[in-house]
Amino acid sequence: MLLGISSCTNEYISDGRQVCFEQEVLPLIVSTCAREGCHNPATREKDYDLTQFNDILKMVEPGSYRKSELYKVITNPFSPMPPKPYDRLSKEQITTISLWIEQGAVNAVCMAEACDTSFVSYSGIVKPILDLYCNGCHAGPRPQGGVDYNSFNGVRTTVDDGSLISSIIRDGNTVNMPKNGNKLPDCKIQQIKKWVQDGAKNN
Ligand code: HEC
């Protein structure tokens, strides 16, 4: 649609949307590049720990996504990262990363938006949070740690056994999630808690 073509790719870049490293880029990279055995602090595949800004920056030419190794590897038509059996990144995900690079690849934390917990649905709020922060590791062809978020029931299982909330609030009874990533923003934790309190419905 907009990337990988040699011309006319600047339109989307001037759409004014500011990409936030901390909220949008880092969770995506942790969840898709720092899976077990890959570029995480324990296994450091190819000596990259892609949970760290400085290591991510080694693959980036700030201001030019086209010159950036990161962009090249995720869009490589023959052997893209992440490797098989994982899915390639979606167009939207590639756009987010490219925009961030084009905007200078800064380590920015954007202002948190007002936190709305009045009505939290699964499809509208919880699923998008899981998709960004968790599902690179917990959905797709090889869900990790026996936690399979490909289906709603898989999510529901971790609500019922308490591990979803425990792992994101990091109370020490389960492994901290997102694994190798930062704690979820407080608002997202409040929203997931509210959804659980309201019965964790598939709504
Ligand atoms: C980088 C990969 C990765 C990401 C991202 C990730 N997880 Fe995990 N998760 C794992 C692995 C691996 C395990 C198994 C425990 C272990 O080996 O540390 C696990 C275990 C779990 C468990 C079981 C914990 C326990 O101790 O019983 C839950 C629940 C869980 N993850 C939920 C989540 C949620 C919710 C998110 C997003 C907010 C998330 N995970 C993000 C890799 C990940």
Name the band, by pLDDT with cuts 50, 70 and 90, for residue 4: very low
Give the rounded percent of residues in the chain with a pLDDT score beyond 90: 86
Residue 34 near ligand 1, beta carbon < 6 Å? yes
Over residues 157-185, mean pLDDT: 97
Name the band, by pLDDT with cuts 50, 70 and 90, for residue 14: low
Q: Is the pLDDT of residue 6 over 80?
A: no
Q: Would you say 22 and 111 are in contact if contact means Cβ atoms under 8 Å apart?
A: no
Residue 188 near ligand 1, beta carbon < 6 Å? no
Question: Taking Cα atoms as reference points, which of 70, 31, 34 lies closest to residue 50?
Answer: 34
Over residues 134-145, mean pLDDT: 96
Question: What pLDDT score was predicted for residue 10?
Answer: 45
Question: Taking Cα atoms as reference points, which of 187, 194, 18 lies closest to residue 110?
Answer: 18
Q: Is the pLDDT of residue 7 over 60?
A: no
Over residues 13-37, mean pLDDT: 88
Best of 167, 169, 186, 196 for a ligand 1 pocket test (most atoms within 8 Å of beta carbon): 167
Specify the range with the lowest mean pLDDT, choosing from 15-19, 36-40, 98-102, 115-119. 15-19
Distance 97 CA to ligand 1 centre (A): 23
Question: Taking Cα atoms as reference points, which of 127, 130, 134, 112 lies closest to residue 181?
Answer: 134
Distance 2 CA to ligand 1 centre (A): 33
Q: What angle do CA 26, 110, 129 make, to 5 degrees?
A: 50
Q: Is the pLDDT of residue 136 over 60?
A: yes
Provide the phi-psi class of 44: left if phi over 0, else alpha when psi is between -120 and 50, else beta. Answer: left
* CA atoms of 166 and 87, how far apart (whole Å): 29
Q: Is the pLDDT of residue 1 over 50?
A: no
Residue 163 near ligand 1, beta carbon < 6 Å? yes
Residue 36 near ligand 1, beta carbon < 6 Å? yes
Neighbours of 81 (CB within 10 A): 20
Name the band, by pLDDT with cuts 50, 70 and 90, for residue 140: very high
* Nearest residue (CA) to ligand 1, atom 13: 145
